[in-house]
Structure 1
Amino acid sequence: MNNLAVGTRVSHPVYGEGIIARSHLTIYEIFFERGGKSEMSKYNEDLEVLETPETEPRTGLSLDEIEEVMSFVLEKYQGITHTVKIGEKWKDGVIELKPGNPELQAKEIPIDTFFHKIVMLRDRLRVLEQNINSHPKLDDADKVQLQQYISRAYGSLTTFNVLFAEKQDYFKGQGK
């Protein structure tokens, strides 16, 4: 009686039928139809086995399964926390790139496409920043040095702030 699996159906003369919900070192947690949840010794002779489960029920996720789920979520959302909107005046606009050589053809890029690339760049910089901050092998001095490069990159991108609808989405450099 002391090695019953979780999910085993048992019977008790006072509490009626029940199912083993947990197995501890010396006791079972059993949910009975008449007595509710009860803890009973694994050596209790009043318990009668009615049915054993065909397989051991799962009690949680393995570390590999958790890692797989986390990788999926991080890849799917790429650190994006909210939708970033382009300024109203730029919707359906184009960027025209004219080469210095008049014999070469100009190129037009939809502003929405360009804006999306800028937002993706910003979000990937944020993910990089988070990875630096949580890296177990970097000391604080290394983290600060790498953060300065990211801040400078943000500062280089402030030119594109004109495209954003909301100031909260702007790039911000180191500032003074």
Structure 2
Amino acid sequence: MKILGIGSRINHASYGFGVVTNVTAKHYWVTFQKDGLETLDLDEEFEVIEACEDDVDTVSFYDVEKSLREILERFSDVTQIVPLADKYKNGTMVLKPADSNLSVKEIPINTFWHKIVMLRDRLRVMEQKINSSDLDDQAKVDLQQYITRIYGSLTTFNVLFASKEQQFKGSGK
């Protein structure tokens, strides 16, 4: 039995026309026109419309989608959704001056939170751009140390994060 490669086109009795988008040791992942993604056993019966070699240098749809998502997250200004800790949702930050003649300032915590998340995401983009730049290694290390110190300065706001994995992390010194 010859294994089909990614990009092979088939016609299945139940699912209709489809394209092989991934191949594993036991299955084909096939995207069908009507039913979407289905897995088929390698020895399952179907008509091969056009076969691609299994050793062709191709990638699966999953790999393309994963790579695209990583690139967009790394190099865009699109911010990911970062949940605010439940106890602070819809809360208010109160800034009270020491001088009682001055007025108190209240800021919706959701507005403040949005600014913190944008700051964090833009720091990450800057970090990636520095790492992929043409700067010499020493300049990259120097700039990376500044970014690490900035993250460390922002750890005060970690109390606002719902998820520990998304918090700011400094150098840990």
User: What is the TM-score normalised by the length of structure 2?
Assistant: 0.56
Cα offset, 1:175, TM superposition: 1.0
**2:85 counterpart letter in structure 1:** G
In the alignment, does 2:159 pair up with 1:162?
A: yes
Residue 108 (structure 2) aligned to one of 95, 99, 110 = 110
Conservation of the 8 A alpha-carbon contact between 2:76 and 2:125: no
* Residue in 2 that maps onto 1:120: 118
CA distance in 2, matches of 1:108, 1:151: 31
Query: How many corresponding residue pairs?
Result: 103
Q: Structure 1 residue 150 and structure 2 residue 147: aligned?
A: yes
2:150/2:170 contact within 8 Å kept:
yes
Q: Which residue of 1 aligns with 2:96?
A: 98
Uncovered stretches (5+) of structure 1, i.e. residues with no partner: 1-72
Residue 60 of structure 2 is matched in structure 1 by none
Per the alignment, residue 23 of structure 1 pairs with: none
With the length of structure 1 as denominator, give the TM-score of the two structures: 0.55
Structure of higher CA gyration radius: 1
- CA RMSD across the alignment: 2.2
In 2: Cα distance, 1:141 partner to 1:77 partner = 26
Aligned pair 1:139/2:117, yes or no? no
What is the CA deviation profile of residues 37-67 of structure 1, one whole-angstrom value per residue up to 9, with x for unaligned ones?
xxxxxxxxxxxxxxxxxxxxxxxxxxxxxxx
Identical counterparts, % of pairs: 60
Asked if 2 retains the 8 angstrom alpha-carbon contact of 1:79 and 1:126, the reply is no
Per-residue Cα deviation, 1:19-39 (whole angstroms, up to 9, x for no partner): xxxxxxxxxxxxxxxxxxxxx
Q: Structure 1 runs of 4+ off > 6 angstroms? A: none
